[in-house]
Chain A
Amino acid sequence: MSSQSRVRRTVIGLLFLLPNILGFVAFIMVPLVMSLGMSFTDWDILRNNIFRHEPLHFIGAGNYLRLLHSAQFWQYLANTFFLMLGLPFAMAGSLGAALLLTQAGRARHRIKPALVLAGLVLAGSGFVLLRCGMAAGGVWFIFGVLAAGTLLVGVLTGGTLYRTLFYLPNFTAGVATFVLWKKLYNPSTGPVNLALAPVLDGFSRWVRAAPGIFAYGLPLLCAGLILLVAGWHFRRLRRQWDGSELGLMGLITGTIAMVGPFGLMLSWFGLGSGPATAVAGGIGVLFAGFTARRSRNWGRVKTLDKGLGAEVVLGLVLVPVLLLLGGGLVLGPTLPAAAATGIAPPDWLGDYYWAKPALMMMMLWAAIGSNNMILYLAGLSNIPPELYEAADMDGASAAQRFWHITWPQLAPVTFFICIMSVISGLQGGFEMARAMTLGGPAGSTTTLSYYIFTEGFETGRLGYASAVAWALFALVFALSLFNFRYGSRHVDD
């Protein structure tokens, strides 16, 4: 190829790329650089715009210092992290959905069992309808008919319907789904509460019939489980420390994952946040200090951060579980009194304490059938079948096949999904808050992205809003680095 022809091809290639490059530079690069610069100024849209040209002032790190001192920033950051607690469950759900869908294709020939199951579901829902009447059992009946119909059509179509249904949330416009969920969560006419009401009525009757079991039994059970989990976790940490499989940072992280929820539980019992933190912190320091003093082969320790990634992942699962058990511990004694007048379904979006969990559940629904599921489906189809054949010949059980073949083979996909989920989790929440709760009640569903919007366009402080946006970027960047640093080890393994 002559040099003239090469130049010509390059020019033509660049011309093709030009619209994209221009778009990137104009709409991403320039605003990005500008917002970074503006975050160090007192840029206020009301004073610096096409009608008012007051000079901008460089205020150094003023905006960043302000956000560090802002109680609202920390509250909204905590909200953002709280909503992200659902990520491990969403990932597990996506994986579960992908595994089920790969099985669904093989279920085409299992029409008879499907028919029996669908018949049972229909009969069950019909029974509920007859037993409880249209008002209380109607929603359950509709759910039952839908479930049975889906099961049958799904089996008949070889899983195509399932794939479509699972992926539905992803190609439905966000705002439409938010409006739909708002209706689902309606405290008096929403299907969620209509379905919950008879269940809670029945539950209230149980509580009234045996108040002691719930007032004392449930808290005791939860306390026992908490102790069990704590004992298992602390024992595991010490063993890993003794075996030099855990560095100091991992030990501290693992300890925090345990004592953090414990501190929260203490505050739920009425111990002020200060004393609760002191008690939980004291226990953590004692345990970590005592463990770190134990003799070990220090020569085998290469890094302080050994095992840190695994502890973070485990912590993400452990914290919600412990908080749920803590909830049982706190709520148990109050149940008999609440059941005396009948336990009412929650006011999902209007109650300060329920609004965040309500949004988390909706996010979970959307995340299970999202692109993550498609990625897992692709990952599953890439696993060489010889591995499963070899495992079958060795007599491996289904669980062993999953744990020793599927899970390790999916590690790169899981790693990618983890990175993307953390990024979207930190950046997300704006549309949801805007459409469903306007960030309320009392700021309980305001995330950092919504805070950026209110600061930027309701008060006009674009400099400060830019600083919040860049703080968010720093957070995303740090967590992504963390993921690459500690998550990629499992991928390489």
Chain B
Amino acid sequence: MKRAFLIVFLILAGSSAWLYWTQPDRVEKIPVLYWTTQDDPTKRETIALFKSWLQDHKLPPVDLRIDNVNQDPTKKLAQGLAGVGSDLFDIYTFQTELFASSGMLMDVTDKAQELGFGPEATYPAVRSDMVIDGRQYGFPRNAGGTICWISRDTFARYGIPEPTFRWSWDDFERIGRAFVTAANPPGTRQRAYFMQAAPRPIQVLRRGLGLSDFNETMTRCILDDPRNAEVMRRLYRWTVELHLFPTLAEENAMSADAGRAGDAIFYNFAKGRYATLYLPRWALIRIRPLGIRNLRAIEPFNSGFSNMEFACGVISVYAGTKHPVEAVRFLQYLTSDRFNDLIARCGDSLPPVPRFLHTEAFLHPPDHPEEWTVEESFLKLDPVLGIAYCRSPFVFLGTVYRIENEVYDSLLAGRVSPEDSGRMEADRVNAEIALNVQADAALRRKYEAMLQVQQRIDRLRAEGRKVPAAWITNPFDLVYYRTKGWLEEEPRP
């Protein structure tokens, strides 16, 4: 028994040593970096181009490998805070503040200025996705607004007139009802919907009425507003009563019917089970292989104020990386011609550097002449209407969206009225703000300062006077107030 124990112990110890000494970092002669991202052809080409870019710039070679099994945000967080995060990782809209506030993202502000990938190198609307409290924590690998895609063949098949480039809520409802009636024969189970369930155009609808999730200084959630009740009433009507959108469960069922987990929405779009899609430009990656050729891209439907959600996918460097120089070089490479050309060519949203929107590679991709009008729509819409997500520094966006999903589910289940749903969401988000502010002294100081600014804004608004632009941190309010002529340029108080 003792001998067996000893043998097992020696085998385990030997295996551990073997594993340790054969780690890529020890075996390879060049630095090995890991990038937590989706493993797809675009990412593989990105890496190949990066290596050639390093070579062309006479920089030391680097081996960059994809880690696609740790993409879950909680995994990234847990691994990062345990000291074993990937050197580079993709960060999406809901995760930026969470990761940045934990300290696990490298502050690249100075390096970005030195190497030319500062905030000014990309779209103004996405700066808040990578700059927090004036410090830069990454650079976009793509960006873009969410627009409405129209399958012209589907509309033609049912003889439904297509929506115009700019359309209203009423247009959406009228055309949607006509489509759902025509595409679903009476007495049969509904198989065709006007638009997919997720992502919901809830931000666009609210903003169309001039309403944001937060007040001007992001100190309070203001969804207990009658305008939000109107939005929720519409969404309930369009989902539960008119079935223009499927519920999330119905959409999952449709995905299962299609038997295609990853691209079921696009498959159903190709089959005419969705007449329109509400997605950013990256949809092209999934649309192209399905052979959907007769497409249009139009503005999201709105009720007054034209707007569009605009966001980006950021790549950040892990603060605990062993290869900070090489990792930062990768961010610099994201501004290069060859990377931006790749994004323009492959359809993975918009290139991170705006000037590439005007290139032939973007506007007139030679292999896809059927997309030329679509690309022109992107050029026409994205830089003009795109507004970033409202991200309050006092509550994580992910928490806000979790609460919103719960409240929205309750609304669709008939458990809360549209009015109560707004109140419930505002109460819960504001309770989260109160908790965060109470727990963090630095945040509390900032909050109190912003509260004072908010009081001054409220006073000016009550008096019907203009508000200094520097007082407003809410990106939507900034654009909205400017459009309405309520803004005044003034030094920050």
- A interface, CB within 8 angstroms of B: 12, 16, 42, 44-47, 49-52, 66, 183, 186-190, 347, 349-353, 440-443, 453-454, 457-461
Contact = CB atoms under 8 A, between A and B. Distances in A.
Contacts of B253: 186-189, 347
Given A51-B103, A51-B319, A350-B252, 11 more contacts: A42-B439, A47-B439, A49-B104, A51-B102, A51-B320, A187-B250, A347-B247, A353-B413, A440-B405, A442-B409, A459-B396
Contacts of A350: 247-250, 252
Given A45-B77, A189-B257, A347-B249, A52 B102 contact: yes
Contact of A183 (B5, B77, B256, B439): B256
Interface of B: 2, 5, 73-74, 77-78, 81-83, 98, 101-104, 189, 247-250, 252-254, 256-257, 319-320, 396, 398-399, 402, 405-407, 409-410, 412-413, 415, 432, 435, 439-440
A349 B320 contact: no
Contact of B410 (A42, A50, A442): A442
A47 B81 contact: no
A70 B136 CA distance: 36
Contact of B102 (A183, A347, A460, A461): A460
A453 B250 CA distance: 27
A427 B73 CA distance: 24
25 contacts: A16-B5, A44-B439, A45-B81, A46-B98, A49-B81, A49-B102, A49-B104, A51-B102, A51-B103, A183-B256, A187-B250, A187-B253, A189-B253, A189-B256, A347-B250, A349-B249, A350-B249, A351-B249, A441-B248, A441-B249, A441-B412, A457-B77, A458-B398, A460-B77, A461-B435
Nearest to A43: B439
B48 to A, nearest CB: 32
A49 B409 contact: no
A12 B247 contact: no
Nearest to B259: A189
Nearest to B101: A46
A190 B74 CA distance: 31
A443 B98 contact: no
A432 B319 CA distance: 34
A454 B396 CA distance: 13
A47 B5 contact: no
Contact of A188 (B83, B257, B409): B257
A49 B103 contact: yes
B78 A457 contact: yes
Contacts of A453: 74
A50 B439 contact: no
Contacts of A187: 249-250, 253
A154 B101 CA distance: 60
Contacts of B83: 50
Q: Which 8 A-B pairs have the closest CB atoms?
A: A350-B249, A51-B103, A352-B413, A442-B409, A441-B409, A442-B410, A52-B103, A457-B74
B317 to A, nearest CB: 13
Contacts of A47: 101, 439-440
Contact of A352 (B103, B254, B257, B415): B415
Given A45-B102, A460-B102, A50 B2 contact: no
Contacts of B254: 188
A50 B320 contact: yes
A157 B5 CA distance: 40
Which residue, of A44, A47, A188, A189, has the highest number of chain B Cβ atoms within 10 A? Answer: A188
A132 to B, nearest CB: 17
Nearest to A49: B81
Nearest to A457: B74
Contacts of B252: 186, 350
Nearest to B97: A46
B249 A46 contact: no
Contacts of A50: 81-83, 320
B261 to A, nearest CB: 11
Nearest to B105: A51
A491 to B, nearest CB: 38
Which residue, of A47, A349, A351, A453, has the highest number of chain B Cβ atoms within 10 A? Answer: A47
B106 to A, nearest CB: 10
A442 B253 CA distance: 19
B413 A51 contact: no
B70 to A, nearest CB: 14
Given A16-B5, A351-B413, A442 B406 contact: yes
Contacts of B399: 458-459
Contacts of B189: 188
A50 B85 CA distance: 12
Nearest to B82: A50
B437 to A, nearest CB: 12
Contacts of A459: 396, 399, 432
B224 to A, nearest CB: 17
Nearest to B246: A350
Nearest to A66: B435
B191 to A, nearest CB: 9
A51 B81 contact: yes
B406 A443 contact: yes
A440 B406 contact: yes
Nearest to B106: A51
A118 B251 CA distance: 40
Contact of B413 (A42, A349, A441, A458): A441
A158 B101 CA distance: 63
B98 A460 contact: yes
Contacts of A49: 81, 102-104
Which residue, of B83, B98, B405, B406, has the highest number of chain A Cβ atoms within 10 A? Answer: B406
A351 B414 CA distance: 11
A188 B264 CA distance: 15
A183 B261 CA distance: 12
B258 to A, nearest CB: 10
Nearest to B100: A46
Contacts of B98: 46, 460
A442 B416 CA distance: 11
Nearest to A341: B187
A46 B102 contact: yes
A457 B406 CA distance: 18
Given A46-B98, A187-B249, A189-B257, A12 B2 contact: yes
Contacts of B81: 45, 49-51
A137 B417 CA distance: 41
Contacts of B320: 50-51
